[in-house]
Amino acid sequence: MLESKMIESLKNDMLEGINNISLDNMEVKRKLIEKQLAILASIEDLYYFKRDNNIGNKADVVDFEEDPPLEGTNKPNVNSNHNGRSMYRFERKIRGGFIPEIDGFVPEGIVRSLGLDHGDMVYATLIEANTRNLKRFKYEIAKKTDGSEQPDRIQYNYCPIKKEAGRLVVDKSEETGEYIRFDENLHTVVLDEDDVFDHKLEEGSLVDIAFPKGMPNLAKVLWTHHIEEREEPNVKKASSAHKKESKEEKEDVEQTLVGKTVLIIGNEPKKNLYKFAVNQRGGEMLWADAKDNLTRLEALVRKSDMVIFLLAVSGHVGMEHIKQMCKDYNVPFDTTWSKGFSTIVRLAEESEMETG
């Protein structure tokens, strides 16, 4: 029985952890044991749910670090391509993903690096199966979907963490400028204490979060963006020795992008330099990765007055989808191999001159 195997695996882990407790690692071990006990409780709930509903023992493996399974994710599917390789349907979870047919968990980092969306088909190659029957796979994209099928899951990216009443919270996506809403009202999400501990979060951190639709109280932190990637403060520091001169320079910058929204596509860590340059000229900058969810990309394109692709850091397949969106919504776009912010500004200004 699957539940029995899980319990035995957890027992071994817990015993090993208890034997290694010391004064130096007491807090970490306590957190670990608390999580393991929570998983045991979830296994018990799963066992009695299956028994009471006459569900067979061969149940899908539940990723117990995540929230309850989402609606619209229970369509098992295995296909073979012309080479005879089996393709498996990827199911997006609150954090990471899952492939029921092979009991394969897909970590959040892999979801992002492959640009996986719910319903995509993947190849899976077993690379490790240890004595506790825990499997690890190497995943490859076999077939992309159009992104139209989405689980009941809400995600906000680049959310700055604030502190309220001693708790860490988020209420806005810095990526899109969109405020978090629940039942059409503005809503502040209190971050889970385990996520705060595990990700070493603090006030000012930037995180991506997700939660089941209608349940923001179950929000999970998906990803932490390193603050050192935000280089706008460095731009200000560089001119600190000439404050008066810098102030005059800023006032002299021609306002060539007033009221315009520039969407930049590309996984470029210096994106805040671009934002600084665009804002300095009166415009607003949005940013996205070509591997992002197509629904969200479409929303960003519709908000934009122009789109610029950074070819050196953009995936070809995703880029073609976005170009088609630009054509559909009559949004001008341009491409560049350069990653210099002066080039980005020049392209944006040229686009504004052509359309304005």
Sign of the Cα torsion 288, 291, 292, 294 reads positive
* Fold type of domain 78-143: OB fold (Dihydrolipoamide Acetyltransferase, E2P) (2.40.50)
Q: pLDDT confidence of 57, banded at 50, 70, 90? A: very low
Per-residue pLDDT band at 60 (split at 50, 70, 90):
very low
Query: Which residue matches tokens 């009202």?
Result: 185
User: CA-to-CA distance for 286 and 261, rounded, in angstroms?
Assistant: 7
Per-residue confidence band for 71, with pLDDT thresholds at 50, 70 and 90: very low
Query: What is the band of 70 on the pLDDT scale with cuts at 50, 70, 90?
Result: very low
Question: Is the pLDDT higher at 254 or at 90?
Answer: 90
- The pLDDT tens digits for 326-355 are 999 999 998 887 777 778 888 888 877 776
Q: What is the 3-state secondary structure (H, E, C) of the chain?
A: CHHHHHHHHHHHHHHHHHHCCCCCCHHHHHHHHHHHHHHHHHHHHHHHHHHHCCCCCCCCCCCCCCCCCCCCCCCCCEEECCCCCEEEECEECCCCEEEHHHCEEECHHHHHHHCCCCCCEEEEEEEEECCCCCEEEEEEEEECCCCCCCCCEEEEEEEECEEECCEEEECECCCCCCECEECCEECCEECCHHHHHHCCCCCCCEEEEEEECCCHHHCEEEEEECHHHCCHHHHHHHCHHHHHHHHHHHHHCCCCCCCCEEEEECCCCCHHHHHHHHHHCCCEEEEECCCCCHHHHHHHHHHCCEEEEEHHHCCHHHHHHHHHHHHHCCCCEEEECCCCHHHHHHHHHHHHHHHC
Asked if 288 contacts 315 with a C-beta cutoff of 8 angstroms, the reply is no
**Amino acid, res. 271:** K
The pLDDT of residue 342:
77
* Neighbouring C-beta atoms of residue 133, cutoff 10 Å: 12
Mean pLDDT (the chain, rounded):
77
pLDDT digits 0-9 by tens, 153-173: 899 998 999 998 889 999 998
pLDDT attached to residue 170 = 93
Arithmetic mean of pLDDT, 285-299: 86
Does residue 38 register a pLDDT over 60? yes
What local confidence, expressed as pLDDT, does residue 169 receive?
93
pLDDT in tens, 216-242: 989 999 998 875 444 443 444 333 444
CATH number of 153-225: 2.40.50
- The residue that leads in pLDDT, 152 or 262, is 262
pTM above the 0.75 mark? no
pLDDT (tens digit per residue) in 106-128:
988 888 888 888 888 999 998 87
Buried b (16+ CB within 10 A) or exposed e, 40-70: beebeebbeebeeeeeeeeebbbbbbbbebb
Domain boundaries, the chain: 2-52, 78-143, 153-225, 234-355
Question: CB under 8 Å, gap of 24 or more: what pairs does 289-292 form?
Answer: 289/115, 289/265, 289/318, 290/115, 290/265, 290/266, 290/314, 290/315, 290/317, 290/318, 290/319, 290/321, 290/322, 291/112, 291/114, 291/115, 291/267, 291/315, 291/318, 292/115, 292/318
**Domain 153-225 identical in fold to domain 234-355:** no
Q: Is the pLDDT of residue 32 over 50?
A: yes
Q: Where does the pLDDT of residue 188 fall: very low under 50, low under 70, confident under 90, or very high at 90 and above?
A: very high
CA dist 278 and 258 (Å) reads 9
Between 78 and 57, residue with greater pLDDT: 78
Domain 234-355: assigned CATH number: 3.40.50.1370
Amino acid of residue 355:
T
Looking at the DSSP assignment, which residues form a beta bridge with residue 303?
none
